[in-house]
Amino acid sequence: MQGTNIHNGVISDNEIIYVNKEFHAQHIRTELKSDDILVVQSGTPSHVGECAVVGEKYTGSNCHALIVMSNGGLCNSKYISYYLHTQNGKKQLKKITTGGTVRHILASAIGKIVVPIPSIEEQERIVSILDRFDKLCNDISEGLPAEIEARRKQYEYYRDKLLNFKEVK
């Protein structure tokens, strides 16, 4: 897995490279675990710093040109990923990014990012809300029907307002 596999907080299967057992054994330190947070280490200014959380599907994979942050159970990885996508998170990532056309983040500099950490229960509540919004916005099977229903109610509201005449006596 590499930086080109991460877009908008999601790991995609484009450009997956399969490696043999020997290569995997030689690069075991980059083996991914579920709940690891991946940050694109090198790339274009708009792509460097992009991040995503490793799911079960990619557990055991190797990676290249990605910073791997292991959670260790102290916080919700998706909370961290969502935070790094905020304006404040991006601003902090930009401060530790170097280079010109090809930008780069040193793995040692990632520790300089300050993330506000509420209780684990609050993190989970925030992630739950953001996951629902994300699904509503990005899953056409959920988002589109909800949007159609909202527009239908809006139409009915304005129709009733426009066609509600006072009786002339």
Comparing C-alpha atoms, which of 77, 85, 69, 91 is closest to residue 133?
85
pLDDT tens for each residue of 79-91: 999 999 999 999 9
Report pLDDT for 96.
94
What would the pLDDT profile of 66-78 be if each residue is shown by its tens digit? 888 887 777 999 9
> What pLDDT shows up at residue 4?
67
The residue with greater pLDDT, 4 or 35, is 35
Buried b (16+ CB within 10 A) or exposed e, 26-41: eeeeeebeebbbbbbb
Residue 52 predicted with pLDDT over 60: yes
Share of the chain above pLDDT 70, in %: 94
Helical residues (DSSP H) of 67-119, grouped into ranges:
77-84, 87-95
Q: Average pLDDT, stretch 86-113?
A: 91
SS3 (DSSP) at 103: strand
Position 166 scores a pLDDT of 74
Q: Of 23-32, 147-156, 157-166, which gets the smallest average pLDDT?
A: 157-166
What is the per-residue pLDDT for 2?
62
Each domain of the chain, given as residue ranges in start order, spans 3-162
User: Which is higher by pLDDT, 168 or 119?
Assistant: 119
**Which CATH number is 3-162 given?**
3.90.220.20
pLDDT surpasses 70 at 111:
yes
